[in-house]
Amino acid sequence: MKVVVDFDLCEANALCMEVAPEIFKVDDQDLLHILIEHPDEKYRARIQEAVRLCPRQAISIEED
């Protein structure tokens, strides 16, 4: 899978980082970084939770 974030929508509130800190990091300049763009399947459930929680619907999962 591939984790995709629409950075135009993201407001850097870090909710995704709370559920999946291995994947998402908001830095001290309020910029979101995807730490693992092609994560292992073991992270899927928590990434899906981040997709669900994101108030901006900025995160999506693509299958590759």
Residue 54 C-beta: closest distance to ligand SF4, Å: 3
Angstrom distance (rounded) from CA 51 to CA 64: 18
Site for ligand SF4 contains 3 (CB under 6 A) = no
Residue 46 C-beta: closest distance to ligand SF4, Å: 12
The values of phi and psi at residue 5, to 5°, are -125, 130
One residue of 3, 23, 47, 54 binding ligand SF4 per CB under 6 A: 54
Angstrom distance (rounded) from CA 59 to CA 35: 14
Residue 45: CB atoms within 10 A of its CB come to 10
Residues at the contact surface with ligand SF4, assessed by CB under 6 A: 5, 10-16, 24, 26, 32, 54, 56, 58-59
